[in-house]
Amino acid sequence: MWFMIAVLSAVVFGATGFLMKVSQMAKGSLQHLLFGLYLTGALGFYVNSLFEGNMILNDWSLWLAGLLIGLGSAGGNLLFMKVLEYGPASLSSPLMNMYVVLIVLVSTWYYKEPLSLMELIAITFIFISIVLISVRKEPITIKEKKWYLLIVCVILLFAVRNGGLKVTEEMGMANTQILFLSYLLSCIWFGWTAWKAKESTESIRVGLKWGAIAGLFSYGGLQLYAFALAIGKANVVIPIFATNSLVMVFGSILLYKERLNQLQKVALFFLLLGLIFIRA
């Protein structure tokens, strides 16, 4: 059961990235897109917490966890945009995905989660798929030395974002509340930046519309991801969840008639191999 939930979480959360691309193609405001995304996402987690009957926010540890995971999400995305200013995406994107390896190592050795040979092979195939899907054909040149520090920070922030829920789950904390707080704090931040941004009315409207829709998928994907972590092994669930970027690729193929390049075809092959080996 955990396997299907993990795959579904990747598909649903991946739709978020695709909808963000739709907004970008329609020239929507990025700041308003992110504000709309975190707003509806926060509302989704709030309603979910009410149904669970655990919307209690007087515990400082919940706020701290929400702040750290929110920082990992919003901060990681913002810093990654800076990384792309100083270095090529063909090198930056594959290195950014090293957070997957970091989380798998922590889950296996610190939390003592067993990992069979077949699962190890499967994780390797999935990681190869994640790296290949993000490779771009461009000159590999580093413009600034600060790129090296920034890429390390991005890896650590994304590790906090995706691995933090494993830590809080082990601590017996309510992950739905934590996700609500992380999205709420991010919503406040991007609400402020959106208010300061000087954009056209049409750009704002487009950004808010697609951001609001993307936020619902972001909420659904992360809620499923948290559930998969609760019943499955993080060192396997997290690599599966990290394949969510493939949804944007295939969505672009269907909607914008983009074609799979050779590396993306190889990435799909390794992804399928990885999923087969996990279920073997």
CA 273, distance to chain mean position in Å, is 22
Residue 38, CA distances (Å) to 70, 112, 138, 170, 184 in order: 10, 34, 33, 26, 7
CA–CA separation, 72 vs 155, rounded Å?
Answer: 9
Please name the residues in contact with 133: beta carbons below 8 A apart, sequence gap of 6 or more. Answer: 245, 246, 249, 263, 264, 267
Tens-digit pLDDT profile for residues 73-103 = 888 878 887 887 787 766 777 778 788 888 8
Tell me the H-state helices in the chain.
2-25, 30-52, 60-70, 76-86, 89-96, 98-109, 117-133, 146-170, 175-196, 201-231, 234-241, 245-256, 262-279
Tens-digit pLDDT profile for residues 136-163 = 665 656 767 888 899 899 899 989 988 8
CA–CA separation, 179 vs 14, rounded Å?
Answer: 17
Tokens representing residue 3 in the block: 């396997």
Model pTM score? 0.87
pLDDT at 245 over 80: no
Residue 216, CA distances (Å) to 47, 90, 188, 197, 205 in order: 12, 30, 17, 24, 17
CA–CA separation, 17 vs 203, rounded Å?
Answer: 18
Q: What would the DSSP string read from start to end of 13-38?
A: HHHHHHHHHHHHHTT--HHHHHHHHH
pLDDT band at 181 (very low <50, low <70, confident <90, very high): very high
Ordered by start, the domain boundaries in the chain are 2-279
pLDDT, the chain, mean: 86
pLDDT band at 278 (very low <50, low <70, confident <90, very high): confident
Mean pLDDT check: name the lowest of 48-62, 128-142, 189-203.
Answer: 128-142
Amino acid at 75: G
pLDDT band at 226 (very low <50, low <70, confident <90, very high): very high
Taking the chain, what is the end-to-end CA distance rounded to the nearest angstrom? 15
Residue 126, CA distances (Å) to 51, 144, 272 in order: 35, 31, 8
> Stretch 224-234: mean pLDDT, rounded?
91
Tens-digit pLDDT profile for residues 29-77 = 989 999 999 999 999 999 998 888 777 777 888 899 999 999 998 888 7
More confident residue, 10 or 89: 10
Give the model's pLDDT for residue 97.
Answer: 78
CA–CA separation, 193 vs 32, rounded Å?
Answer: 8
Tokens representing residue 135 in the block: 């490779």
pLDDT band at 177 (very low <50, low <70, confident <90, very high): very high
b/e map 145-158, b = 16+ CB within 10 Å: eebeebbebbbbbb
Tokens representing residue 131 in the block: 């790296």
Count of beta carbons in the 10 Å neighbourhood of residue 280 = 10
- Are 225 and 13 in contact by the 8 Å Cβ rule? The answer is yes
Please name the residues in contact with 183: beta carbons below 8 A apart, sequence gap of 6 or more. Answer: 38, 41, 42, 45, 70, 219
